[in-house]
Amino acid sequence: MSGTMATDTASALQQALGTEYAAIWVCGLASAFAGGGVTPELAAAQTTHQARRDAVQRLLTDAGQTPALAQPAYVLPQPVNSQASALAMLAVAEADATVAWRAVLERTDDAGLRQTALTALTDSAVRETRWRRLAGISPASVPMPGQPS
């Protein structure tokens, strides 16, 4: 299907794609520090973000847009050198994804795309909470995921 997509919708989706790339990269980095029960959670997170990356790339391509490319690496706001700092970084990556996916909700009227965005927003909010809980951050819950601060 080759359709059209409003500029603001496409731009919001490109942003969301960027946060998915970053989340995949952070999952890879975190795997070096993850042990015990974290490893399967991390693998599940990576699989989910990869699937979402593929889905967004397809959405953009089908709408005649060129999906943005992943960065080769990302600047970390804090050094990652332990499981706790890796978990905190994973939580930040998920938080970035929630902001981007809420922005998609606010930039489309398409019910299908809104469902996709809500599913991604909710999934990233749940994972952010899980990483925060495992990192010992209290409270672990996020009241309004994706709300720009």
Partner 1 sequence: MRSAEASGFAGRRWTRRGLLRTAAVTAVAVPLAAPAIAACTAQQPPSAPDPLTALVTAAESDARAAQAAAAAFPDNAATLNVVASVRQQHAAALRAEVNRANTTPTTSGSPTTETTGTSAPPAPASEGAAMSQLTGNLRTAQQQAAGLVPTLPRYRAGLVGSVSAGCASVLEALGA
Report the interface residues with partner 1, using CB under 8 A: 7, 10-11, 14, 65-69, 98, 102-103, 105-109, 111, 114-115, 117-118, 121-122, 124-126, 128-130, 133, 139-147
Q: Please, what is the minimum distance in Å from the beta carbon of residue 149 to partner 1?
A: 12
**For residues 18 and 34, which CB has a smaller minimum distance to partner 1 in the complex?**
18
**For residues 19 and 124, which CB has a smaller minimum distance to partner 1 in the complex?**
124
**For residues 96 and 128, which CB has a smaller minimum distance to partner 1 in the complex?**
128
3-state secondary structure of 95: helix
Answer for the pair 21, 53: CB distance below 8 angstroms, yes or no. yes
**For residues 84 and 105, which CB has a smaller minimum distance to partner 1 in the complex?**
105
Q: Which of 148, 49, 51 is nearest to 106 (CA)?
A: 148
Q: Please, what is the minimum distance in Å from the beta carbon of residue 118 to partner 1?
A: 5
Alpha carbons 139 and 128: distance in angstroms, whole number: 12
Q: Please, what is the minimum distance in Å from the beta carbon of residue 104 to partner 1?
A: 9
Answer for the pair 56, 20: CB distance below 8 angstroms, yes or no. yes
Q: Which of 118, 117, 125 is nearest to 91 (CA)?
A: 125
Query: DSSP class of residue 6?
Result: -
Q: Please, what is the minimum distance in Å from the beta carbon of residue 113 to partner 1?
A: 10
